[in-house]
Amino acid sequence: MLRVLLDDDTRADLGLDEIVREGARRMLAMALEAEVDSYLASFADERDDDGRRLVVRNGHAKARSVTTSAGAIEIEAPRVNDKGVDDTTGHRRRFKSSIIPPWCRKSPKVAEVLPLMYLHGMSSGDFAPALAEFFSSAAGLSASVITRLTRQWQDEQAAFATRRLDTVDYVYVFADGIHFNVRLEEARLCVLVIVGVRADGTKELVAIADGYRESTESWADVLRDLKRRGMRAPVLAVGDGALGMWAALREVFPATRAQRCWVHKVANVLNALPKSAQPAARKALAEIRDAEDKDHATRAIHAFSEAFAVKYPKVVARVVDDAEELLTFFDFPAEHWVHLKTTNPIESTFATVRLRTKVTKGPGSRAAGLAMAFKLIESAQTRWRAVNAPQLVALVRAGAKFEKGVMIEGSNPPDQEVAA
């Protein structure tokens, strides 16, 4: 474990922020040296015909400043002279630091802040003055740099939207529409987002596209494009009550089952009730959503209907009419229920942006807004955890049946291949 100790004289001369940056600088320098030492050790036995080592140190690179969440830190990355040949490519090997790549000027955490701030409505010219004092440097934050980054992000989003999906299997998908104001246009941007759960249980972004009010045709265009690029029909799709999504799903992937998002449903029901009735309704809805199994949930729906149907028949109909789609998750592994009840991967990622859309003007164009949303969710997915009991996802794809959350013995077809 690396440890940095500052002497008494250094601590006395530095303020809190300077101590943090100095400690970070020293720790980073030590980590870079340790990384090079490890690389050299791995090739210590490789020597040329004269017995000289093929991999040796080669001084340090020119000092450069890297913007991190601790502020701007100056580094002098150690260099390596590697005369070895890569067995795969046949070309000369080159050492590349996994901590600080040669092109790196901002840490991933700082890069993640930029699209978030842009979606909040900050113009490219405001980044440097807003962040320079916090990061103790405006390097890499000028308007021209931000503008160049937005163009780069748009290119990355375009490449993402055309990749092939033949080799990926998404067993579950979450779908939602995210709305943003656009500074230079009257119409709001509706970003259609699909997040998938792969057969190994990990989550990742599947699609992000510019839609039109979550219409059937907009969703159908997204789903048709995914199918055209090789995507297999998912077993289950989780989404809100937007009719366009479900109509499009029936058209493009008719075999995929539907699960309504409970977060959206609860909010929809409570908004239609007077405040005096909301606490009791919230508790009744929670008893349905968190029931022990589908039978208990069905009885809880009946109890909800008896309690509220006389005064609020239309509100009760919102639950009763969608009962089948609200309880679909009970037909899957119990370990997955907590994941399948909501579109949380999408909702949590854009929650901070949703809170600000009413008071900001948003990105400057639809293309920029779509690119910013793409970068925001791309950064967020590195923190997404796999679903509980990930080994069961492949069994779901294989056709295994579950009763009360437990797999029915012998329900998994023996000749069905289970993807890892």
Closest C-alpha to 190, from 178, 182, 181: 178
Spatial neighbors of 3 by CB under 8 A, at least 6 apart, are none
* Sequence-ordered list of residues with C-beta below 8 angstroms from that of 237, at least 6 positions apart, any chain: 172, 173, 174, 175, 245, 249, 253, 256, 257, 258, 259
Place of tokens 């033949």: 166
CA distance 48 to 66: 37
d(CA 356, CA 341): 26
pTM score, two decimals?
A: 0.68
Helices (H), 229-328: 243-252, 262-271, 278-289, 294-308, 313-320, 323-326
Query: Which token pair is 132?
Result: 């320079």
Q: Which two tokens stand for residue 91?
A: 């070309």
C-alpha 387/C-alpha 364 separation (Å) is 36
Among candidate residues 5, 34, 350, the one with its CA nearest the CA of residue 189: 350
What DSSP letter does each residue of 210-243 carry, written as one string?
A: EESTT-HHHHHHHHHHHHHTTPPPPSEEEE-S-H
CA-to-CA distance for 167 and 72, rounded, in angstroms?
Answer: 41
Per-residue pLDDT of the chain (420 residues; tens, 9 = 90+): 445 455 555 555 555 556 656 766 676 677 778 888 888 888 888 888 888 888 899 888 888 777 665 556 677 888 889 888 887 777 888 887 766 666 555 555 555 556 555 555 555 555 555 555 545 555 555 556 666 667 778 888 999 999 999 999 999 999 998 877 665 455 667 889 999 999 999 999 999 998 777 789 999 999 999 999 999 999 999 998 777 899 999 999 999 999 999 999 999 999 999 999 999 999 999 999 999 999 999 999 999 999 999 999 999 999 999 999 999 999 999 999 999 999 988 888 777 555 444 434 455 577 777 887 887 788 788 889 999 999 999 999 999 999 999 999 876 655 444 443
Helix %, strand %, coil % of the chain (to 5):
50, 15, 35
Residue with tokens 């690029």: 229
Residues 6 or more apart whose CB falls under 8 angstroms from that of 209 comprise: 161, 191, 192, 218, 221, 222, 225, 370
Q: DSSP code of 169?
A: -
